Structure 1
Amino acid sequence: MFREMRRKDRAMVEEETKMLLETAQVGILSTVSTDNTPYGVPMNFVYTNEVIYLHCALEGQRLDNIVNNDSICFTVVDAVELMPAAFATKYKSAVIFGKIIVVEDIEEKRKGLIDIVKKYSPDFYEAGLQYIDKAFEKIKVLKIEVSKMTGKARL
Structure 2
Amino acid sequence: MRQIRRKDREMPASEAEALLVRGEYGILSTVDAHGQPYAVPLSFAYRDKRIYFHCALEGHKIENLENNPRVCFCVVGQTRVLAEQFATEYESALAFGLATEARGQERREALLWLLEKYSPGFIEEGEHYIEKLDKATKVIRIDVQQISGKARR
Whether these two folds match at TM > 0.5 is yes
Partner of 1:21: 20
Identity of aligned residues (%): 43
Q: TM-score, normalised by structure 1?
A: 0.96
Partner of 2:44: 45
- Report the residue type matching 2:128 in the other structure: Q
State how 1:105-124 maps to structure 2 within 5 Å: 105-124=103-122
Deviation of 1:6 after TM superposition, in Å, equals 1.0
- Report the residue type matching 1:142 in the other structure: I
In 2, Cα distance between equivalents of 1:97 and 1:15 = 15
State how 1:102-141 maps to structure 2 within 5 Å: 102-103=101-102, 105-141=103-139
State how 1:52-63 maps to structure 2 within 5 Å: 52-63=51-62
Runs of at least 5 residues in structure 1 that lack an aligned partner in the other structure: none
In 1, Cα distance between equivalents of 2:33 and 2:117 = 33
CA RMSD in angstroms comes to: 0.8
| Secondary structure in structure 2 of the residue aligned to 1:35 | coil
Match status 1:98 vs 2:97: yes
Deviation of 1:9 after TM superposition, in Å, equals 1.2
Deviation of 1:83 after TM superposition, in Å, equals 0.6
Deviation of 1:106 after TM superposition, in Å, equals 1.8
In 2, Cα distance between equivalents of 1:141 and 1:29 = 14
- Report the residue type matching 1:72 in the other structure: V
| Secondary structure in structure 2 of the residue aligned to 1:75 | strand
| Count, aligned residues | 153
Q: TM-score, normalised by structure 2?
A: 0.97
